[in-house]
Amino acid sequence: QVQLVESGGGLVQAGDSLRLSCSASGRTFSGYVMGWFRQAPGKEREFVAAIYWTAGTRYYADSVNGRFSISRDNAKNTVSLQMNSLNPEDTAVYYCAAGVRPLRAIEASSEYGSWGQGTQVTVSS
């Protein structure tokens, strides 16, 4: 059974950086896509970024492209999200997710079968 545990959230000011980590366990992830999603109060969960575990191919939402960077460490079984130039609109609970390839739509949360508990990111203006 896949287990995902996020860490690294916190309170920062606009313009600051933050790095989130997701520790993955329970199986090998060579056939998986790892994603980051976020959900702000009163809004639906939205796609942030994803990475193919084996190939390392990356995808980003338009709203974070150029500011956020997703990466994975095969040896440590972790997926990270480096977030730069944060703004108050980035405030949300951030979730790590794992989906078995192939995904019909990499940005669709329904394609991911395993989720972490989430970590809060708050950006003050």
Give the span between the Cα atoms of 125 and 109, in whole angstroms: 29
Of 39 and 75, the one with more pLDDT? 39
Alpha carbons 65 and 80: distance in angstroms, whole number: 15
Query: In the predicted model, what is the mean pLDDT of residues 34-58?
Result: 96
Average pLDDT, the chain: 96
pLDDT of residue 94: 98
For position 27, what pLDDT does the model report?
86
- Model confidence at 30: pLDDT above 90: no
Can you read off the two tokens belonging to residue 37?
A: 């999603």
Residues above pLDDT 90, as percent of the chain: 90
- How sure is the predictor about 90, in pLDDT bands with cuts at 50, 70 and 90? very high
**DSSP letter string, 45-102:** -EEEEEEETTT--EEE-TTTBTTEEEEEETTTTEEEEEE-S--GGG-EEEEEEEEESP
Mean pLDDT of 86-97: 98
Given a cut of 90, whether residue 113 has pLDDT beyond it is yes
CA dist., res. 74 & res. 51, Å (int): 12
pLDDT of 40 strictly over 90:
yes
CA dihedral 48, 122, 116, 34 (to 10 degrees): 20
